[in-house]
Structure 1
Amino acid sequence: METGINSFLINISLIFLFMSLTLYVMRTVLPIQPTSPLFVRFWFGVSNGLTAILLTINSIELGDARIDLRLIPIALSATFAGPFGAIVTLSLIFIGRTTLHGMSAPFIDSLLLLLVFFLFSLVMTRLPIRQGRGYAIYIGSGALLVLIQVRGSVNETIFINVFVPYFLMLSFGAWLCYWAAKKIETHLWMFLLHTHRATIDELTGLPNRYRTLEQMNDLEMSGKPWTLLVIDVDHFKQLNDTYGHLAGDAALRHIGQTLERHRPPSGFVGRYGGEEFLLVIEGGEGMTKVAEGIVQTVRHTTFEFQGEIIPMTISIGAAIAGHEPSMVVFERADEALYEAKRNGRNQVKFA
């Protein structure tokens, strides 16, 4: 019995390992569901298929019999990724079983059970059932299919000594794996949400000061040439005083979107704070033309608020980085910005 329990724990650990790695790799596309993109459901099905094959290889010995828990990854795949995920998982199981054991009568019986399970998943997706309840139905239905298959072909002693422990292990393991999957999914989702909030400016949707300074530091550490543009919205206080803070917020969003649309392909734009933006560009050639083009683009891009067109211009201070810390580059660009504003705004000055 101790050997069976140890094997059970190893099997559950295998499911946890593959499930955790899969959800982590797919953390940017969570939650995984039957309506997720096809490639997401495919790879989720592949992961569960590989898990099922490993569970078959590491099957649990109960006396002279061997059982496995491959129904758990099949149910996970069907629950999260729908019929497509299930058929990918079942296909891998078919390939794995054929490769390892060849065609046999028990294998054919198992294949028929898997096909029935797949057809059942097609029906399940059309029913308005909560995910957890649907998973329980998959597990219960799979166990029922196994029971129907073995009840008439084994004696009572084998049934009690082998299949009763199997159903207990399956039930407990299935609950444990689903609970862990939901916890991991929720944790990764919350982590991404907090990361997003920590690095994105809520008003403009651009990277915030922290993320933009981090980009500057990355370019500094890379040793590549790079350029910094410090961008300030002209007469922003006057706009706020004349039209109100809602207009000011709308103007900042407008400027941010304009900069994002027209930045160079190697450029990274973020909001530094207030009415200031930073544009970090990899490279140092032709930056005068780039900066002047941005000033003209903003000047000629219409900003309308509550039916009124409001002229918008920006001033830019620019500095091409040498072999110096990124904050020194920022100070030079910032000083050039103040020179641009002193000279009448709506222009570019290079440090």
Structure 2
Amino acid sequence: MGAVINQFVINISLIFLFMSLTFYVMRTVLPIQRTSPLFVRFWFGVSNGLTAILLTINAIELGEARIDLRLIPIALSATYAGPFGAIVTLGLIFIGRMTIHGMSAPFVDAILMFIVFFLFSLVVSRVLINRVKGYAVYIGFGALLVLIQVTGSVGTGVFFNVFVPYFLMLSLGAWLCYWAAKKLETHLWMFLLHTHRATIDELTGLPNRYRTLEQMNDLEMSGKPWTLLVIDVDHFKQLNDTYGHLAGDAALRHIGQTLERNCPPSGFVGRYGGEEFLLVIEGSEDAKEVAEELVQTVRHTMFECQGEVIPMTISIGAAVAGHESSMVVFERADEALYVAKRSGRDQVRFA
């Protein structure tokens, strides 16, 4: 009895391990569902297929019989990734069983069950049913297929000594795995949500001050040459006083989107605070051209508010990083910005 419990725990742990790794790797594309991109459903199916193969190899021994819990990853794949995920998982199991056992009679029976299960998943996918009920239906249908397969082919003693414990372990394991999958998906989703809120400026959608300074620090630590542009919106207080704060917010969004669209591939733009933005560029060769082009682009990009076209300009202070900390580079660029503003605004000045 103790050995069976130990093997059961090992099997459930294998499912947890692969499920955790899969959700973590796919955390940026959560939630995984039948409408997810094809590559997401494919790799989710692959992960569950590999899990099912490992469960087959680490089958639970009940006397002279060997049982496995591969129905759980099959049901998880069908529940989350729909029929496509299920067929990928079943396909890998097919390859695994053929490699391990060859074309035996039990293997052929198993393939027929897989085909029936896949056809059943096609039917379930067309029914409006929530995820937990769908998962229960898949587990129940899979258990029914096993029951049909063994009915009449095994004695009463074997049925009660092998298949009744199997159904009990399957039910308990299925519940534990679904509970863990749901908790893990929710946890990762909330983590990403809080990370997004912690690093993204809510008004402009750009990286916020913390994330932008972190990018500067990363470049400083890399030892590569880089350039910092400190960008300030000209006459912003006057715009706020004249048109109101809603217009000011719209103007900041307009500037932020303009900077993001015209940021070079090697650049990183974020909002530092108020009407000030930072643009970090790897290298220094094209920094002057990039800065001048940004000034001209903002000047010629129309901003319309309350039916009126409002001219917008920016001033930029720039500094090329030497062998100094990122905050020293920022201070030099900030000083250059004030020179640009005192010199008439709508221009670039390098430190």
2:171 paired with 1:174: no
2:223 matched residue in structure 1: 223
- 1:288 offset after TM fit, Å? 1.6
Aligned equivalent of 2:321: 321
Q: Secondary structure at the match of 1:93?
A: helix
What 5-or-longer segments of structure 2 have no aligned partner?
none
Output the CA distance in 1 between the equivalents of 2:134 and 2:348: 61
Q: Counterparts of 2:90 and 2:170 in 1: how far apart (Å)?
A: 18
> 1-side partners of 2:218 and 2:332: how far apart?
19
Which amino acid is the alignment partner of residue 110 of structure 2?
Answer: S
TM-score (ref. length: structure 2): 0.99
Structure 1, residues 41-64: CA drift from partner, whole Å, max 9, x if none?
000000000000000000001111
- Residue 303 (str. 1) matches residue 295 (str. 2): no
SS at match of 1:279: strand
Query: Paired residue for 1:128?
Result: 128
Give the structure 2 partner of residue 90 of structure 1.
90
Structure 1: give runs of 5+ residues left out of the alignment: none
Question: What secondary structure does 1:278 align onto?
Answer: strand
Q: 2:117 corresponds to which residue?
A: 117
How many Å separate the matches in 1 of 2:292 and 2:190? 41
Q: 1:339 and 2:329 equivalent?
A: no
User: Who is 1:41 aligned against?
Assistant: 41
Tell me how far 1:2 sits from its aligned partner. Answer: 1.4
**Secondary structure of the corresponding residue to residue 345 of structure 1:** coil
- 1:254-333 pair list within 5 angstroms: 254-333=254-333
Q: What is the rounded CA distance, in whole Å, between the counterparts of 1:291 and 1:142 in structure 2? A: 63
**Superposition map of 1:20-35 within 5 A:** 20-35=20-35
Question: Is 1:195 aligned to 2:204, yes or no?
Answer: no
Deviation at 1:289, TM superposition (A): 1.7
| Structure 1 position 151, deviation (Å) | 1.2
Determine helix, strand or coil for the equivalent of 2:231.
strand
Q: Secondary structure of 2:284's partner?
A: coil
Matches within 5 A, 1:156-171: 156-171=156-171
* CA positional deviation for 1:248: 0.2
Q: Give the distance between the partners of 1:126 and 1:172, measured in 2 at CA.
A: 28
The answer for the alignment partner of 2:3 in structure 1 is 3
- How far did residue 4 of structure 1 move? 1.0
Matched, 1:151 2:151: yes
Instruction: List aligned pairs for 1:200-215, cutoff 5 A.
Output: 200-215=200-215
**What is the TM-score when the length of structure 1 is the normalising length?**
0.99
Look up the SS of the partner of 1:309 in the other structure: strand
**1:100 aligns to what?**
100
Q: Give, in whole Å, the separation in 1 of the partners of 2:179 and 2:30.
A: 16
- Give the aligned partner of residue 67 of structure 1: 67
Secondary structure in structure 1 of the residue aligned to 2:31: coil
In the alignment, residue 147 of structure 2 is paired with which amino acid? Answer: L
CA RMSD between the two structures: 0.6
Q: SS of the counterpart of 2:228?
A: strand
SS of equivalent residue, structure 1 residue 228: strand
More off after superposition, 131-140 vs 283-292: 283-292
Structure 1 Cα separation of the partners of residues 237 and 212 of structure 2: 24
Deviation of 1:257 after TM superposition, in Å, equals: 0.3
SS at match of 1:227: strand
- Runs in 1 of length 4+ with deviation above 3 angstroms? none
CA distance in 2, matches of 1:5, 1:208: 51
Q: Which amino acid aligns with 1:327?
A: M
Shift of residue 306 of structure 1? 2.1
Shift of 1:87: 0.3
Structure 2 match to 1:237: 237
- 1:47-93 deviation line (CA, Å, top 9, x unaligned): 00000000000000111111000000000000000000000000000
2: CA distance, partners of 1:211 / 1:170: 46
CA distance in 1, matches of 2:59, 2:113: 18
Structure 2: which amino acid aligns with 1:152? G
SS at match of 1:230: strand
Rounded Cα–Cα distance in structure 1 between residues aligned with 2:16 and 2:8 = 12
Partner SS for 1:323: coil
* 1:109 aligned partner, one-letter code: D
Matches of 1:72 and 1:349 in 2, distance apart?
Answer: 64
User: Tell me, what secondary structure is at the counterpart of 2:227?
Assistant: strand
Q: Deviations 1:145-190 (Å, cap 9, x if unpaired)?
A: 1001101100110000000000000000000000000000000000
Following TM superposition, by how much is the alpha carbon of 1:3 offset from its aligned partner in structure 2, in angstroms?
A: 1.2
Distance apart, 1:286 and its partner CA: 2.8
For residues 319 and 158 of structure 1, the distance between their equivalents in structure 2, rounded to whole angstroms, comes to 80
- Cα separation, 1, equivalents of 2:294 and 2:307: 25
SS of the residue aligned with 1:35?
coil
Distance 2:51 2:10 in 1: 12
Secondary structure in 1 matching 2:144: helix
